[in-house]
Amino acid sequence: MAAPLEAYRRLQEAARPVWEAVARPERPLFRVAVATCTRAAGADETLAALREELSRRGAEADVLIVGCPGLCFADPVVDVHLPGLPRVLYGRVTADQVPRLLDAVLGEARVLPELALGVVLYEEERMEGYRGTPVEGLPDLAQSDWMRLQVRRLMANVGHVGAEEIDHYIARGGYEGLAKALSMTPEEVIKEVLDSGLWGRGGAAFPTGRKWDFLRQARGSPKYLICNADEGDPGAFVNRSLMEGDPHLLIEGMLIAAWATGASYGYIYIRDEYPLPVERMRKAVEQARERGLLGENVLGSGLSCDLEVVRGAGSYVCGEETGLISSLEDVRGMPKIRPPYPAQAGVFAKPTNVNNVESYANVPLILRHGAGWYASVGSERNKGTKMFSLSGQVQRVGVLEVPLGTPVRDVIMVAGGGPPEGRKLKGLQPGGPLSGVAPASRILAQDGLPLEPEPFREIGMLMGAGGLVVLDDSSCVVDLALYFEWFAEDESCGRCTTCFGGTRRLQEMLRRISEGGGRPEDVPLMRLLPDAMRNANCAHGQAAPTIILSLLDLFQDELQEHLVRKRCPAKACRGLVRYEVVAQDEALPRAADICPTQAIVKEDGSYRIDQARCIRCNACKEVAPQAIAVLDRFAEQA
């Protein structure tokens, strides 16, 4: 057996008992998902309450901190593993529910069906996660609407192993891919990655193996690896979830890349808004170094590579690979001019490879199970799985992993449960604010808009890095476009006039339209700008007008309503609506009370809205939904 594999087996032997204690616990084991999303829902409080309650009861039990298993709609989640029983995942376990949960699970009942999301049954040998059989009285989680489309490979460990436990990872086969890679030549590793069909998950969908080959063949040393974890698109949080739940998968992937490309140092650049992933990744790097998996002579193979976790400084364009490189170099985070490409002259003018978190994370699985296994799921054109974060106006939000080619319709309507009650699906905004909006008609078409790059490209959009933001009919695309152009200008680095000037122009135009100043000749004007803006230096500037093209090509009717009839069908453009009292009910006094401009006035015993004062903030409507109506401001002109 090759030396690295042998060294790895020894590591694994040592790790196994630690994992065994968790896999087959002898006393109750509580897995508490502590991640950014669950924390927002109160996971820290739940954890504290659980610990306090357990010690108060003197209960013999263990608590393990894990990552978020992706069911964000049910946060905070707690997974209870009682000896001799299948694991049960409980949702919405806020701190005040903890005594109730403990009463049940530590008592006679042993389960609390009201909070249970389902039974979790892990088969150790199968990587495809949550599979199990129904237990009486409880549903099988794997068969739930949320889970049944999913194939969990990248997420196999997330929510399962301890978030800060390297032994769990190793015992479950982690770093085996690295050991195998180290027993191969770099060329063989690259070939394996090429054969798997893996392409970059950051949005550009460039074959990862070819990218690595560029760096491998580049002259100059040292060579650098960069992991782009500057997941800046609103609505995208798949990388965060992975780093919080299974940090070693990324480290292993980067080490394999280092071996394949000849890189000797790697940076994991994590956005500033992700303090927990920074903490978890730093800890994981530390642990890997302790086990001899990082640093000099990894697993006795001769590979020397170290990693450093770098915290970003909060700029969207630093997610663009050359912008990220500028940021790493401590200069203003501006995307660079290409050529030279990063593989020729990247960070500190040295050859560099930049990949997304998910791209690296796929590699250990490919090496471990082989390219054939990897390509066994997915569509005809695209192999493997992809993580998506579903959010927006949809019933269930969270992180899911589905085979490429899964129809987005199913993801939204089945896993997500469709738009909220009484609302209609309007569209989907994938891949961040620069990628445009797909209309419901396209999503609900025959093929359901498969989740792979090509169908999106056909409608002038990008599938992006995994964010799926669902829009229902309360959203207005003009309003959204205005917001996105503002966002694009706000985040523009300031290099290309077409970018920071063009987005400013578009904003001016959209603002005018959203305030009732639309003109038919705006359409050709809006076509002129994207043309010029395509000529920008980086993807940020080039893609900034995509939403405008969506608006012009896919939402023509809605735009025409704004331009010609001066009305916003979604009632979202504030300049095009007015608020009126349509019924006098008991909620009105409160609405009048909270009105920030005192626009709700009482005359002769009845309320009415003073239009001159109303700023259309919607506060009254939230308090008195029955009494207040949103009407078209320019209705009489229609």
Partner 1 sequence: MAKLTINGREVEAPDGAPLVEVIKNAGIFISNLCYVDGLPPYAGCRTCVVEIEGMRGVQLACTTRVADGMVVRTDGEEAKRMRQAALSLIMSYHSDRCLTCHRIVKCKPGDTCLRDGVVTHRCLTCSKNYRCELQTTCEMLEMAGYEPWEGEERTYYTTPQPEPDRANPFLEFDPQMCIICTRCVRVCDEVRHTGAITLAGRFNPRIEFGAGGPVHESNCDFCGSCIDVCPTATLMEHPNKWAAMQTERWVPTACTWCSVGCSIFLGIKGGRGVIVKPDTAGNPFSRDQLCVRGRFHYDFVRPHQRLQRPLLLRDGARQEVSWEEALEYAASRLAEIREAHGPQAIGFLGSPLMTNEENYLLAKLARAVVGSPNLDSTAGPVARAALEAVREAFGTPVLPADLTRVPKARTLLVVAEDLESSHNVASVRVKDAVIREGARLIVVSPRYGELCDFATVWLQPRPGQEAAVLVSLLRSLARDGGAAPGLPEALPDPEPEGVEAGELARAADILREAVRDQSWRPLAFVYALPYLAPEHVRATAAALCGLAVLCLGDEAPSCLYVLPQEANVWGMLDVGVAPDLLPGYREAGSPADQGDMERLWGTPVAGGPGSDVWHMLQDAGGRLRALVVMGDNPLFFLPDRQRVEEALARLEFLCVIDSLDTATARLAHLVLPDSGPYSKEGTTTSADRRVLRLHVAASPAGESRPAWAILRDLSLRLAQRLGLGEVRLNYARVAEVMDELAEVVTLYRHARYQELDNGSQQSWDGLSPRAARVPTLRLPANGHGDGHLLLTSRGLYTSYEAAALGLEDADRLHREESLEMNPADAAALGIGPGDLVRVANDRGELVLPAKLTYGAAQGTVHLPLHYRGGAALSLFGPGEPAASVRLSRA
Residues engaged in binding partner 1 (CB under 8 A): 315, 332, 337, 489-498, 500-502, 504-505, 507-509, 511-512, 517, 525, 528-529, 531-532, 535-537
Q: In angstroms, what is the minimal distance from the CB of 534 to partner 1? A: 8
- Closest to partner 1 by CB, 208 vs 507, is 507
Whether 618 contacts 628, CB under 8 Å: no
Q: In angstroms, what is the minimal distance from the CB of 513 to partner 1? A: 11
- Please count the other Cβ atoms lying within 10 Å of the Cβ belonging to residue 76: 28
CA distance 248 to 294: 11
Angle, helices 275-290 vs 238-245, to 10°: value is 40
Q: In angstroms, what is the minimal distance from the CB of 492 to partner 1? A: 7
- Closest to partner 1 by CB, 213 vs 522, is 522
Whether 568 contacts 577, CB under 8 Å: yes
Q: In angstroms, what is the minimal distance from the CB of 529 to partner 1? A: 7
DSSP 16: H
- Closest to partner 1 by CB, 84 vs 524, is 524
CA distance 31 to 90: 10
> Within 13 A of 612's CA, how many CA atoms are on the CB side?
1
- Closest to partner 1 by CB, 423 vs 511, is 511
Whether 152 contacts 403, CB under 8 Å: no
**3-state SS assignment for residue 558:** helix
Picking from 540, 547, 550, the residue whose alpha carbon sits closest to that of residue 500 is 540
Q: In angstroms, what is the minimal distance from the CB of 231 to partner 1? A: 19
Q: In angstroms, what is the minimal distance from the CB of 498 to partner 1? A: 5
**3-state SS assignment for residue 522:** helix
- Closest to partner 1 by CB, 214 vs 486, is 486
- Closest to partner 1 by CB, 519 vs 590, is 519
- Closest to partner 1 by CB, 535 vs 560, is 535
Q: In angstroms, what is the minimal distance from the CB of 515 to partner 1? A: 9
DSSP letters for 370-405 = HHHHHTTSB-SS-BSEEEEEEEESSS--EEEEEETT
Q: In angstroms, what is the minimal distance from the CB of 337 to partner 1? A: 5
CA distances from residue 24 to 86, 393, 577 in whole angstroms, order as listed: 10, 40, 60
Whether 271 contacts 314, CB under 8 Å: yes
Q: In angstroms, what is the minimal distance from the CB of 494 to partner 1? A: 3
- Closest to partner 1 by CB, 131 vs 511, is 511
**Three-state secondary structure string covering 581-600:** ECCCCCCHHHHHHHCCCCCE
Whether 544 contacts 320, CB under 8 Å: no
**In the block, which residue shows the tokens 């489309």?**
149
Q: In angstroms, what is the minimal distance from the CB of 345 to partner 1? A: 12
CA distance 421 to 305: 53
- Closest to partner 1 by CB, 379 vs 497, is 497
Which H or E element spans position 65? strand 62-66
- Closest to partner 1 by CB, 48 vs 528, is 528
Q: In angstroms, what is the minimal distance from the CB of 350 to partner 1? A: 15
- Residues sharing a CB contact under 8 Å with residue 69, sequence separation 6 or more, in sequence order: 33, 77, 79, 89, 155, 158, 159, 160, 245
- Closest to partner 1 by CB, 207 vs 501, is 501
Q: Count the helix, strand and coil residues of the chain and give each as a percent rounded to the nearest 5.
A: 40, 15, 40
CA distance 182 to 167: 20
